[in-house]
Amino acid sequence: MEIDFGALDSIRAAQNPDGGWPYRKGGSWTEPTVYALLAHQAARTTAPHSAEAVAWLCATQRGDGGWTPRRAVDQSTWVTALVALLPPETIGAARHARAVEWLVGERGMESSPILHLSEFLRHGTLPEGPDLSGWPWFPGSAAWVTPTCLGILALKKRYWRQPSSELRERIGAAQAFLLSRRCADGGWNHGSQRSRGYDSGAYPETTGQALLALAGMDAPKLEETFGLAQGFLREQRSAGGAAWLRLGLLAHQQTPADAPLFRMPCRTLPDTALTLLAEAAEQGYNVFLE
Amino acid sequence: MTRRDFLLGSAGLGLAGCGRTAAPRSRALVKVTRAATYSQDLYDTMRRVLREHRIDVRGRRVVLKPNLVEFEPESAINTHPLLVHATLEAFRELGASVAIAEGPGHRRGTLDLADAAGYFGTIPDFEDIFTDLNLDDVSRVRLPHPVSHLRSLYLPHTVLGSDLLVSMPKMKTHHWTGATLSMKNLFGIVPGGVYGWPKNMLHWAGIHQSIADLHSLFPKHFAIVDGIVGMDGNGPIQGQPKAAGVIVSGREPVAVDATCCRIMQIEPSRIEYLTLAGGLEGIAEENIQQIGEKPDSVETRFELIMELRELRRVRA
């Protein structure tokens, strides 16, 4: 599978005059802007207006070191992990370090010491698994699968450059959180594997993300997950889901199923970029793990 | 005046000016219409429904907001595309400019989900008139009298800029709130691009309280509930299809949802968000003017999970 440079052209054509990218049309958002830059990295080329893109991103960083999903939003959120996936050279080492610092300090409310203390005062017990610690989408809420996967991937990249016990422990706690949220069928959904006594099924996109975030980990029963992921891939219903599955399987040296490749149209910029990232991973360059 | 003020102002103005042409009634008008199947008859049915509500939308921007949840076209999980298309055509015949918009709570590929749910195949040029509310441009809107701890919400411009928001949920039980109808359906206007998938911040703020807060921003949105085939048991995702054979409509969401509960044999006064938003007065039968079928004549027992059995309506 070769890099689809036509896809790269379509990404370039979608860039807004302010330097950022929209999801489909309209104003610039952090998530598609990061994916557009990662797609160029995967293709080992530079966006024609990369300076404007980086300037847009840098201007979207908040004083606390985190990133807001778009400028109209006055809050640092999960997209900080996405920005931290970019090489430090892209946004500057100091900005990158502050993004990582923000990430390390953020966690789902269910694992916050304040909530644990409150539970202890009310019920006299501590919640089980205090060392499980994922990331929320939005501060002040619980941890979920996608932001936790992106947080793990961002901190791993940092750790490979600059190992520390703090990073290692946080990555371990987040991976433990992820394993605790695995569905009965062996995959992952948004992060609720069981509710009101009923098991919930996995989704393709989050299963692929979790596999990617667990790369290199000798997790038990991943064979079952591989089979599920291959099945999802054969019946793919979204380009984004298929791309995440390929990225996740390849991270475990699994050959993705021989399915009608990317049959679904790419309907958002992240879909297009992720498809390109999966193609690059098939050629041996997985930007999430380099 | 800021853009945010403008958007909020225009939404309020539009909603206020887009009402029934008759003088306000003291009782909320709710219409219950029999509809046994998803057939071509729905086009005529929806024309009649809108005519009876005497909605004046000529030259106005109407946004239909269905409930899209999962990639399962054969299940009863999503609002049926034929009902949405019939409603779209009926509003267009009244002179409105109509768009469709939704922001699912769990799945990210909204257009892929709509495709799987049959929207592309049923509604011509669907992609041109559809907005993914999870990824739309947003502005912050202050909550006037919050009952949750939220003080403001970021909301999508497509909704804020509309003259009439039409909530089109599926009639379903909900394993946390008891029932998910036109008011709970407004969770789908809260942008995932800001709050995530799921929009868990609303749950941490109190799910019932958040529903009431969203209702306070759109108290006069129009509601059309797809109860032709709803879902009971462990809804809103894992329940069983339940044929109720009705469409419930009206411009007072609290009254519409209370009527749906009665049809489902659920006691509306035990649904916390209904009492938070409308008080006991808002859901009282004597304060709702029913037209079309009487709820008693179409009521269908929607099974509830064990934990919610206290919500069952018990007749005196």
Q: Write out chain A residues lying below 8 Å of B140, CB-based.
A: 72-74
> With a CB-CB cutoff of 8 Å, which residues 22-81 of chain A face chain B?
23-24, 26-27, 29, 31, 69-70, 72-75, 77-78
Taking residues B283-289, what's their average pLDDT?
A: 96
Q: How many domains does chain A have?
A: 1
Element (H, E) at B14: helix B3-17
pLDDT value of residue B97: 98
| Residue B316, domain member (yes or no) | no
pLDDT value of residue B12: 41
B121 near A CB under 8 A = no
Domain that holds residue B233: 3-311
Domain that holds residue A139: 75-281
| Residue A4, domain member (yes or no) | no
What is the domain-level CATH number for residue B59? 3.40.50.11440
pLDDT value of residue B19: 38
Is the alpha carbon torsion for B271, B276, B277, B282 positive or negative? positive
Number of H helices and E strands in chain B, helices first, is 13, 12
Question: Where do we find the tokens 């109509």?
Answer: B98
| Residue A253, domain member (yes or no) | yes
Whether residues B193 and A240 touch (CB distance < 8 A) is answered with no
SS3 A87: coil
The residue of chain B with its CA nearest to that of A142 is B200
Of the candidates A226, A194, A187, A233, the one whose C-alpha atom is nearest the C-alpha of residue A210 is A187
CA distance A221 to A78: 29
Token code pair at residue B2:
């800021």
**Tens-level pLDDT at each residue, chain A (290 residues):** 566 778 999 999 999 999 999 999 999 999 999 999 999 999 999 989 999 999 999 999 999 999 999 999 999 999 999 999 999 999 999 999 999 999 999 999 987 776 666 666 666 776 655 588 999 999 999 999 999 999 999 999 999 999 999 999 999 999 999 999 999 999 999 999 888 888 899 999 999 999 999 999 877 779 999 999 999 999 878 999 999 999 999 999 999 887 655 568 999 999 999 999 999 999 999 999 98
Predicted TM-score (pTM) of the model is: 0.93
Q: Cβ-count burial of B176 within 10 angstroms (0-12 exposed, 13-18 middle, 19+ buried)?
A: middle
Q: How many domains does chain B have?
A: 1
What is the domain-level CATH number for residue A209? 1.50.10.20
| Residue B26, domain member (yes or no) | yes
| Residue A145, domain member (yes or no) | yes
B6 near A CB under 8 A = no
CA distance A74 to A62: 8
Nearest to B135 among A24, A144, A203 (CB): A24
B112 near A CB under 8 A = yes
CA distance B316 to chain A (A): 30
| Residue B288, domain member (yes or no) | yes
Q: Write out chain A residues lying below 8 Å of B200, CB-based.
A: 136-138, 141-142, 144
Beta bridge partners of B61: B97
| Residue A238, domain member (yes or no) | yes
Question: Where do we find the tokens 């699912």?
Answer: B104
pLDDT value of residue A269: 98
| Residue A134, domain member (yes or no) | yes
The residue of chain A with its CA nearest to that of B136 is A26
- Region class of A44: left (phi > 0), else alpha (psi between -120 and 50), else beta: left
Whether residues B195 and A189 touch (CB distance < 8 A) is answered with no
Element (H, E) at B40: none
CA distance A27 to B21: 37
